[in-house]
Amino acid sequence: MVLPPDHPQASMTTRIATARSTSATDAAPAFLELQKQLGGAEPSLVVVFASTSAPLEGVMKAAAHAFPKANTIGCTTAGEFTEASEGKAQFVAWALAGDDVTVTAGLGTGLKADPEAALESAIKLAADDAERPHRMAILLLDPLSGNGEEASMLAMTMLGPTVRLAGGAAGDDLHFKQTLVACGNQVASDAVVVALLSSRRPLGIGVKHGHKPMSKPLTVTKAEGSVVHELDGKPAFGVWKDAVRAAVQAEGADIDAIALADVGGHLLRYEVGLIAGANEYKIRAPLSADAAGAVSFACGIPEGAVVRITSSAESDQISSARDAAERARKALGGAKVAGALVFDCICRNLILGPKFGAAVKEIHEGLGGAPIAGFETYGEIAMDLGQSSGFHNTTTVVLAFPA
Amino acid sequence: MLSPRKPSPLKVTQPVEVALILAHMSGSLGQEKAKAVVAAALLKLSLPGEGVLAAEQAELLLNAIAEEAGLVGLAAKVTKQMVRNQVAPLKATF
Instruction: Give A102-125 pLDDT, tens digit per residue.
Output: 999 999 999 999 999 999 999 987
At residue A300, the pLDDT reads 86
A197: helix, strand or coil = strand
The DSSP annotation for B44-79 comes to HTT--SSSEE-HHHHHHHHHHHHTSSHHHHHHHHHH
Higher pLDDT, A386 or A133: A133
A306 contacts B3? CB cut-off 8 A:
no
The residue of chain B nearest to residue A278, with distances taken between CA atoms, is B92
**Is some CB atom of chain A closer than 8 A to the CB atom of B86?**
no
Chain A residues within 8 A of B16 when measuring between CB atoms: none
Expressed as residue numbers, the domain containing B51 is: 16-84
Other CB atoms within a 10 A radius of the CB of residue A307 amount to: 26
Q: Is residue B58 part of a domain?
A: yes
Give CA–CA dist A394/B34, Å, rounded: 23
> How many domains does chain B contain in total?
1
Q: Is the pLDDT of residue A5 over 80?
A: no
Other CB atoms within a 10 A radius of the CB of residue A42 amount to: 14
pLDDT digits (tens, 9 = 90+) for A246-265: 999 998 999 999 999 899 88
The DSSP annotation for A283-351 comes to EE-EEEE-TTS-EEESS---TT-EEEEEE--HHHHHHHHHHHHHHHHHTTTTPPEEEEEEEEEHHHHHH
Give CA–CA dist B63/A337, Å, rounded: 41
Give CA–CA dist A197/A284, Å, rounded: 29
Q: Is residue B90 part of a domain?
A: no
B81 contacts A160? CB cut-off 8 A:
yes
Query: In what helix (H) or strand (E) does residue A390 lie, and over which residues does it extend?
Result: strand A387-392
Strand partners, A227: A224, A296
Other CB atoms within a 10 A radius of the CB of residue A296 amount to: 16
Strand partners, A340: A372, A400
Give CA–CA dist A201/A40, Å, rounded: 23
The residue of chain B nearest to residue A275, with distances taken between CA atoms, is B30
Mode of pairing for the β-strands spanning A372-377 and A280-284: unpaired
Each residue's pLDDT tens digit in chain B (94 positions)?
A: 455 555 667 889 999 999 999 999 998 899 999 999 999 999 999 999 889 999 999 999 999 999 999 899 999 999 999 999 888 887 667 7
Residues 38-67 of B with CB under 8 A from A: none
Interface test with A, best of B1, B25, B33, B94 (most A CBs within 10 A): B94
At residue A8, the pLDDT reads 43
| List of residues 6+ apart from A390 with CB closer than 8 A | A149, A152, A153, A156, A381, A382, A383, B27, B28
Q: Is residue B89 part of a domain?
A: no
Chain A residues within 8 A of B71 when measuring between CB atoms: 149-150, 153, 300, 302
At residue A9, the pLDDT reads 47
Tell me the pLDDT of chain A averaged across its residues: 93
Mode of pairing for the β-strands spanning A280-284 and A272-277: antiparallel
Q: How close A360 comes to chain B (CA, Å)? A: 18
The DSSP annotation for A19-56 comes to EEE--SS--HHHHHHHHHHHTTPPEEEEEEEE-TTS-H
Which of A129, A276, A282 shows the shortest C-beta gap to B2? A129
CB contact at 8 A, B30 and A282: yes
Closest CA to A181 of A172, A210, A323, A126: A172
| List of residues 6+ apart from A196 with CB closer than 8 A | A103, A104, A105, A123, A124, A125, A126, A135, A136, A137, A159, A163
SS3 content of chain B, % helix, strand, coil (to 5): 55, 5, 40
Q: Is the pLDDT of residue A24 over 80?
A: no
Question: Mutual orientation of helices B70-84 and A148-159 as an angle, nearest 10°?
Answer: 20
Query: pTM to 2 decimals?
Result: 0.92
